[in-house]
Structure 1
Amino acid sequence: MTSSNAPSPPTDGDAEPQLAEAPRGEGGFHIGRQAFQAAKPQSALYIVSTPIGNLGDITVRALETLAACDLIACEDTRVTATLMQRFGLRTALTAYHEHNAARVRPRLLATLENGGSVALVSDAGTPLISDPGYRLVRDVVEAGHRVVPIPGASAPLAALVGAGLPSDTICFSGFLPHKGGQRRTRLGELARLPATLVIFESPRRLASSLADMADVLGADREAVVARELTKRFETFERGTLAELAERYADATVKGEIVVCIAPPGVMTEADPEDADALLTEALNDMKAAAAAKHVAQMTGVDRKTLYKRAMELKAQ
């Protein structure tokens, strides 16, 4: 992800120690003590996910792609070099970011035009998530070349699955505006969305952002602050927005932050009778499937469970 406040790159300090020297054959890489060779990929732009913290989260497919492609385009060659050294990757690197994109993009397109393969990586996580890399994808598609995603680590998804909030409908909003007035305006636009909000935040702005979230989105709205995901000091702090704002008001915070906020009206521990009452009311205007989805967003109860109960209520 490309941003001055994007999650910092993984380091060897957050992963297992290196166990072997890098193999030196073309298209080679190693995992621990075992060396591998990778087959040359078809000509395409490969969007390759890299770890967000723990280097052990790299996938075998990502390593094969990075080892055998002709060129790796990355935000910062020094950052990607850490990953390259850990797994014995020898592919040529070129810096590609928003400040040099216009100059470097023709080289990437020329590589594809000549039948080569290019891998695009970010400093951490999945490229194009909260970064401008989509422009390269659009140009590659317009030029008639293939784009192949190589999925893997993603900070928004890691935070979401650990948060314990409804995940059937989500809204990823990246980083909020830095200035308070603009931030509150953006939160106002998101306030009534029937979705779990997933937001990146800087440690130095976390306290002020949580205070704005509590004020604009609602003090009682459930939320989770996920910090240092996949790293040694990973934490999930849970509570209402008001509680979290108070908890972090005077705290010194370090690391990378993802904030997950429950949809409006969610009850974290819904009573079965409450769910029945909501389902009964929803069934007056909706079919069973729609009613189940609606109540799931409100309560956090599994939608399939609610659908089964809705059918039972209709049969009564």
Structure 2
Amino acid sequence: MIDRSKPKQAPAPDANALGVSEMVALALAVVWVIAIAVQLILSPGAVLTGPLSFLMLLLVVFMPLALIWGIVSTARTIRALRDEAQHLQVAVDAMRHAYVLGQQGGSQPSVEKKLDEIAAAQRKTETALAMFTSRRDTALTVPSADRKAALALPVKRVSDAEPSFALGTPADDLRAPLSVGDFVRALHFPENPEDKAGFRALRLALEDRQTSRLIRAAQDVLTLLSQEGIYMDDLKPERCRPEVWRRFASGERGREIAGLGGIRDRSSLALSASRMREDPVFRDAAHHFLRSFDKTFAEFEKNATDAELADLAETRTARAFMLLGRVTGTFD
């Protein structure tokens, strides 16, 4: 456990106070001056016999005093430096204590969290701008992905020549259509074992006949790609305008829809192309997935708004389509 008490402050030294060394030096200086004075009083004629003798007397008197006070001054400087070093150590300990408390309290957000918030805000802005680049869904009075069907329902026509039998209504006709929100969430697959909403959407999607074919095909190619170390979460495709997705749904191919091939990761493209050439199982799974995506997306586009197309483009299934579409030359 970290001690949260404030570090103790060392007492500030008194610059004018006399230490033990100063007092000892003062006593020695007084003793030396008294000894010289006694010597001069007892034998004055023996000492002062000429100019050279007077100079020697001055050296004998003042040289020891200068040495004593030089030593005392040096000792005092060393003591001051030691006290300053002690105060610096106390200040460093206080700064370290405050830093540890700040880290435990979580008062400062991490740089990674700030970058994630900026990236999320940028994605929301790009999605909002993309909504104004193409058509709107005018068929709904309340535009909600949870209220409308993801795929356009086929119109069943019964010929008069065909007999009808009262054998009951098929189960597919009684089941509610898969919503856009569940469709998009299912194509992204659950994030983790605790993603209850993701598993619920996946279960509903597997109950839909057409969507289940795309889900299983996507699961096959994602499993095969993971064997090469290619994961859709690692790919960051370039954004494409919704109108290009609609042109793809209408049947256009080639360079007119080249913007859909937003995967630029060279390593993933090279590994996928090599696996496509060498592994017939991977090649068949990839072509089956692309056909399923093409057919299902054409039905989804009829009911989808631009924002819903942008959400679909962020799913793992859509990223696999962009990657394999570039490998197979769909955008060439």
Taking structure 1 as the reference length, the TM-score comes to 0.22
Larger % of helix: which?
2
